[in-house]
Amino acid sequence: MTRFDVVGVGLNATDTLILLPHFPAYAGKIAFDEEILSPGGQVASAMVTCARLGLRVKYIGTVGDDERGRVQLASLRETGIDLEDVEVRPGCPNQTAYILIDRSTGERTVLWRRDDCLRLEPSSITPEKIAGARLLHIDGHDTPAVERAAELARERGIPVTVDVDTIYHGFERVLPLVDYLIASSEFPTQWTSERDPFKALELMQKEYGIRVAAMTLGAHGALARAGGRFVYSPAFVVNCLDTTGAGDVFHGAFCYAVLEGMPLQESLDFSNAMAALNCTAVGARGGIQGAEAARALMSRAERRAHKDFATRCQAG
């Protein structure tokens, strides 16, 4: 019996946002404008996005028992996410990020820490925690645990989406279990040692049998390969205040698009629009909006295309 539209297994973090008028020069010194405590984290923020889009959501992960952990749990609880399988680790600090935001551009630099006491073990991922989902979303950090979750999903015919931006030991065992790979722009080229992103995505898709292999491109949108062809979606131009969490929101929106049965081009456009809207406010979840707002942006906004990506997709 289906209990949840999406189950997410992976990271959360509680961020300290430090807003700067501009980045100082190397070894320089500058007064900051504001300091804000804000919940974030890859999978947790993607799940908040899914919940804001009206999906039934469960989050599986670990939190510390400190103030940052309490802030994270309160934020997730407020959005109606099921937290029954979240493990609170006593005497353990929650994952922390200090995010320096350049107010002149909206770009950010992230400094983060996650203590080993937050590690999610495979033994925590039992069949009943995954079986009630229509879709599973994972990252790669606690690789054995997400591998176990993906195995359970594959056994039950539940599609798996993954957000990955770093090479993790053992991740080659996870990739064959993935239906939708949405990686950072650097990951496919690092994984395959193929500098051409088109060839890197194609190599990964063919080697691991991935239905859709894609990468996010920041200010230039997203690129995906499915059914033997590439699809490119340019980014939307907005008044960007903070890029923190844009990729996480993209992933949550993509989960929604998959469950709604959107064609790939529409899925990428919708996810780009949701990510762009999040950039119009401060914080990893500051600008998450609903599907109507995303569609309104899709219908009217200027797009920022990367000429090479657009040309190669049209040619091919």
Tell me the domains of the chain and their CATH numbers. Answer: 4-24+31-315 (3.40.1190.20)
pTM given for the model:
0.95
pLDDT digits (tens, 9 = 90+) for 96-109: 999 999 999 988 89
| Cα dihedral sign, 106-112-118-124 | positive
Pairing of strands 160-164, 108-113: unpaired
Contact (CB, 8 A) for 252 and 281: no
pLDDT digits (tens, 9 = 90+) for 47-75: 999 999 999 999 999 999 999 999 999 99
Q: pLDDT band at residue 276, thresholds of 50, 70 and 90?
A: very high
Whether pLDDT at 164 is above 70: yes
> What number is the average pLDDT over the span 163-171?
95
